Amino acid sequence: MSDEPTKIDFSQKEKYDFFNSNIDQFDILIQLNARQEDCILPSHVKGDHSLTLKMSNAFVYPPQYDRLKVVANLKFNGEYFECSIPWGAIWAMSAGDENQKLWQKDMPAEVAVSIAKDILKQAGRTIQEKLGLAKSSKETLEEEPEKKIKNTAKTKKGSHLKRIK
């Protein structure tokens, strides 16, 4: 499949290049929007907007890919399923510890909203800490052991179970 002459989809070329340059050295985790109609996946994952799949040349059936899609026989619940994933459904990939890539334009809205909420929460905490309106995360961590010690002192002695003869 990799050697087939196919029309190059330049909007997805960066994904193809990332996959192609890393698959021989690393396992690749792909994050995809499984809801896309042209994704061929098991029905129980088809509605997932943030599905993560592992690809590896060390698999029994290594993934095949061309300029349009990745095809891989992956195991789901102990059964192999031939998955076909177009590059347009993939919105992030990671290969190894330091090599991650994100394509925002292909990211589902739910993921973008979740990331934005997390960023805003962190920004709010930082502003509150700087204004002295909230405890810093360091102060909160330092208080945790004290809370645990106080909580253990409140526990009852003896069992709550009664012996029946």
**Given pLDDT bands bounded at 50, 70 and 90, which one contains residue 69?**
very high
Is position 163 within any domain?
no
| pLDDT, tens digit (0-9, with 9 covering 90-100), for 7-30 | 555 668 999 999 999 999 999 999
Is the same domain home to 81 and 102?
yes
* Residue 45: pLDDT over 70: yes
Amino acid in the structure at residue 160: H
Segments forming the whole domain that contains residue 75: 10-107
In a domain? residue 97 = yes
Is the domain of 63 the same as that of 20?
Answer: yes
E-assigned strand segments in the chain = 28-32, 51-55, 64-65, 69-76, 79-86, 90-95, 99-102
Per the structure, how many domains does the chain have? Answer: 2
Whether residue 4 is contained in a domain is answered as: no
The average confidence (pLDDT) of the chain is: 82
Q: What is the pLDDT of residue 27?
A: 95
Query: Do 67 and 129 share a domain, yes or no?
Result: no
Residue 159 resides in a domain: no
pTM over 0.85: no
* Residue 5 within any structural domain of the chain: no
Query: Are 93 and 62 in a shared domain?
Result: yes
Distances (CA, A) of 36 to 63, 71, 109, 160: 20, 15, 13, 55
